[in-house]
Amino acid sequence: MKRRSFIKKATLSSLTVLVGTEIVFGEMIPSGYTPLALQDPDPFKLFQKNKEMILLNDRPWNLEAQAHLLDEKITSNEFMFIRNNGKVPENIDVKNWTVTIDGESVKQSKTYTLEELKSKFKHHTYQLTIECGGNGRAEFDPPAKGNQWTVGAVSCATWTGVRLKDILDDVGIKSNAVYIGYHAADAHLSGDAKKEPISRGVPMAKAMQEETLLAFQMNGKDIPLVHGYPVRLVSGGWPASTSGKWIQRISVRNKEHDGEKMTGSSYRVPCEPVAPGEKVKDEDMCIIESMPVKSLITYPKSGAVIDSGKKLSIRGHAWAGELEVTKMEYSIDYGSTWQAAKIEAPANRLAWQHFSASVSFPKKGYYEVWARATDAQGTSQPMLLPGWNPKGYLNNACHRIAVKVS
């Protein structure tokens, strides 16, 4: 009953807006609820996304790309997946936006305005791979709960900002620092102002890496609102949830950060492998750090029909968390034989790498082209699903496309 009258209220107030009269019931709209943005739910227009992006969830907003949409070497906003845990903050006041560094392990807490961050510290630009820890979740059996990402929750844009390391050095960090945790401006879905939708972080070693940025630009422009405007923590190669958006505060902790979605089973996998469907106690779950080796065929789109005797050019990207991809292969016979593909060096550390190959088919018929990347430690992508885990993280199984030769 409550929910229904809530909808009625919303409908009515948006109607008055449509009619162009005064918002008669403006003050009756529950606080924190923004009818305009949510009642006109065209996320493609709202976030300037390509129409072929797949909408997984509209509250909170979650959209993913398809493999062929990620063909660009540097992912543009149009094709960048959206993963939100809470409500996108509104009415961002850039002039008064501040970032505070606090926590048990700072010598004294310090607050910077956005202007100070930009003017005080040197700017750096890196192309950084950001992949959702749950990318590929849809393939797990038994299914894991959460957004059912297929392959498109990954991006590699250029990010410009200042090094978190430079800021932490300026603040002064105690020797007992263990972890950093971010706090951001997004609101909890339940509307409870005391709850944070997500507050994750990384160990000090990752926080102090050269490529770990407090970024204010994406692909040379202000970061789009839904991707973290005006300032985002970017930690490439790690689960995207560690790259917090709309950053207001970073706490330097003397223990593993215990913010929302750091504990329990969130962004964790069993410390020791388990059978599919097995129950795992929270204390037996370990935090995901660097993402595993993976690749995606971005051209051609699955379903290509080509003439017999013609070669097929394929291309795509490969990445391996903290590591580099050293070998790229493809197979047209379900892994019986593998052929080498050309793999380029990354634009910088933690950027995805581009691969390409020219594929010949022995005769007419149905084929699948499977791609397999191997990282610097010799670990390759599995052809089948990797170890089952309760939350469906880290599916880095080989990507494949269907091809017909006629």
Partner 1 sequence: MNEQDKFRATVKAVHRSLMLVLVAVVVFSGLLVFMMVDPDFSSLRSKDMASYEVVQPVEEVDEDLIVDGIHVRTGLIEADGFMEVVNNCTNCHSAKLVTQNRMNAERWAATIDWMQETQNLWDLGRNEEIIINYLVTNYPPLKIGRRAPLTGVEWYELKE
* One-letter-per-residue 3-state SS of 17-34: HHHCCCCCCHHHCCCCCC
CB of 130 to partner 1, least distance (A): 22
Is residue 294 within 8 A of residue 352, CB to CB? The reply is no
Query: What are the tokens at 8?
Result: 């009625």
CB of 28 to partner 1, least distance (A): 6
CB of 6 to partner 1, least distance (A): 8
Distance of alpha carbon 148 from alpha carbon 168, whole angstroms: 37
CB of 344 to partner 1, least distance (A): 21
Between 5 and 91, CB nearer to partner 1: 5
Between 5 and 175, CB nearer to partner 1: 5
Return residues touching partner 1 (CB under 8 A).
1, 3-9, 11-12, 15, 24-25, 27-28, 55-60, 139, 141-143, 145-148, 189-190, 192, 195, 300-306, 310, 312-313, 368, 383-385, 397, 400, 402, 404
Between 7 and 376, CB nearer to partner 1: 7
Residue 397 CA to chain centroid, in angstroms? Answer: 18
Q: Which of 352, 371, 381 shows the shortest CA–CA distance to 312?
A: 371
Query: What are the tokens at 266?
Result: 């969130």
Between 164 and 357, CB nearer to partner 1: 357
Between 376 and 383, CB nearer to partner 1: 383
CB of 217 to partner 1, least distance (A): 31
DSSP labels for 311-349? Answer: -EEEEEEEEBTTBPEEEEEEESSTTSS-EE-EEPPPSST
- Structure letter (DSSP) for residue 151: S
Strand-pairing partners, residue 356, are: 315, 342
Dihedral-angle region of residue 392 (phi above 0 means left; psi in -120 to 50 means alpha; beta otherwise): left
CB of 264 to partner 1, least distance (A): 8
Distance of alpha carbon 214 from alpha carbon 202, whole angstroms: 13
